[in-house]
Amino acid sequence: MKINTFITLALIFLTTGCATTNTSNGIITNIKTDLSTTEEQKWEFLSGKWFGSQPIKDGGVRQEIMERSPQGTYKITFRVYDKEGKHQEQTEAGHWGVSGPVYFTSFRGWVKGKEFNPANPSDPYNYDAYRIIKLNNEVFKYEHFTQKGTYIIKKVSNDFVFPER
């Protein structure tokens, strides 16, 4: 009898999951509700290739090409030019997501050629959250929650490369 009770409870747990959702009247349900079209649109908008270019303090420019897959992974290449026009380049990879007004990333390591050098997953510095200010299929403007930096990037074609300087 104890085995049947255990199996029944296990099946209930497995079929209902652990997710809960608050309803408008404050009562908690035992399932997560479907995403709204708006949430799905945010995911679709963010997937793909984006480019940004912003001045930096010393008179140089920081450019970035961000590539987000619909499966929640990203690769971003930063190209930082000093005021003389010389540049350094670094490519990073990780996971990304969006929930409500929050865009977040989980940095997993650096990419050099075909080699991947993992980062320390227990380092809090490798996780970032941003407030979405504007997002559509052309422009993404967002602000880092703790560092307060604001970034603006624009959607580009899949064959886009860094512009010549």
DSSP symbols for 149-160: -EEEEEEE-TT-
> Which structure tokens are listed for 9?
């409870």
pTM for this predicted structure: 0.78
- Band the pLDDT of 38: cuts 50, 70, 90: confident
CATH 2.40.128.280 domain residues, the chain: 37-156
pLDDT in tens, 64-76: 999 999 999 999 9
**Highest CATH level, class, for 37-156:** mainly beta
Q: Which helix (H) or strand (E) holds 117?
A: strand 115-118
Conformation bin of residue 154: beta by default, left when phi > 0, alpha when psi is -120 to 50: beta
Any alpha helices (H) in 92-134, and if so which ranges? none
Residue 17 has pLDDT above 50, yes or no: no
pLDDT in tens, 131-150: 999 999 999 999 999 999 99
Collapsing DSSP to helix, strand or coil, 24 comes out as coil
Residue 154 has pLDDT above 70, yes or no: yes
> Which structure tokens are listed for 158?
């899949």
